[in-house]
Amino acid sequence: MTYSYYPGCTLKTKAKELDRSARLCAEALGANLRELDNWQCCGGAYTASSDEIATKLSSVRALLEAESREEDIITLCSACHNVLKRVRNDLTNDANFAFKVNNYVKPEKPFEGKTKVIHFLEFLRDEIGFDNLREKVVNPFTGKKIAAYYGCLLLRPSGVMDMDDPENPKILEDFIRAIGGEPVMYPYRNECCGGYVALEDKSATVKKSEKIVASADGFGADIIITACPLCLYNLESAKGESEVKYFTELLAVALGIKEA
């Protein structure tokens, strides 16, 4: 199993642990993640306006490079995943958009849609399978209460992201069960942490994240897990009782790659 890997800006800087643990886990699970040679930052946000072209070109280039390799793209950061998947959707379903971006990018071969954008969680569920994953666990999180934090970008808009039920998701809870932990159900798991407003108005994002963390803590969580570096930052800024970790860090421990 070989995949093109799109790390994104933050995994090369503030979220190195997300990058490192995911690469090690993929290797242990028999998958080869080949980093795209010429990836550029996705911009962090998909701009939902029919006349917006230039801000989507970096995703188009990543999709074209992966398709020329005949590989799917694996992403980890929720924001990269959201942007790449939505641009892929535009490229395959909106001929006018494809015409305009091709005028900029001048691809040797236009994007055909063979390359899919797969989040690492989808890779675990759909390519490895949670039952197979469970068999590979050597250090299960037995007795640990783990709260899944989805946030917004993994799930919404559900029609395009198509990862899980946007209001009652279970992919992270199934992951938690596969690594031997006990999922904590709490009502704020798919509410927004405040996102990029952290740059301009941190008090606003702390307030939103405090509600999320207090809810998870109140339901007895020991650890909160996320896929998104900005969610991790915002949830940590709320200074709750639970630790906040990337889901891949727990996976690395469960697979015996990393010390608990």
Per CB under 8 A, residues contacting other proteins are 8-10, 13-15, 41, 43-45, 47-52, 55, 77, 79, 151-152, 155-158, 166-167, 191-192, 194-202, 204, 208, 228-230, 232-233, 236
* DSSP symbol at 21: H
Query: How many CA atoms within 13 Å lie on the side-chain side of 225?
Result: 25
Shortest CB 49 distance to other proteins, Å: 4
Minimum CB distance to other proteins, residue 145 (Å): 25
CA separation (Å) from 247 to 11, 50, 83, 191, 207? 14, 34, 20, 18, 24
Q: How far is the CB of 139 from other proteins (least distance, A)?
A: 28
Among residues 37 and 51, whose Cβ is nearest to other proteins?
Answer: 51
For other proteins, give the closer residue by CB, 11 or 178.
Answer: 11
Taking the complex as a whole, the smallest distance from the CB of residue 152 to other proteins amounts, in Å, to: 4
The conformation of residue 219, written as its DSSP 8-state character, comes to T
Q: How far is the CB of 161 from other proteins (least distance, A)?
A: 9
Residue 27 or 201: which CB sits closer to other proteins? 201
Three-class secondary structure of residue 27 per DSSP: helix
- 126 in Cβ contact with 203 (< 8 Å): no
SS (H, E, C) 159-199: HHHCCCCCCCCCHHHHHHHHCCCEEECCCCCCCCCCHHHHC
Closer of 153 and 255 to other proteins (Cβ): 153
Q: How far apart are CA 212 and CA 196, in angstroms?
A: 17
> Per the structure block, which two tokens stand in for 158?
């559900």
The three-state secondary structure class of 244 is strand
Identity of the residue, 48 or 95, whose beta carbon is nearer to other proteins in the bound complex? 48
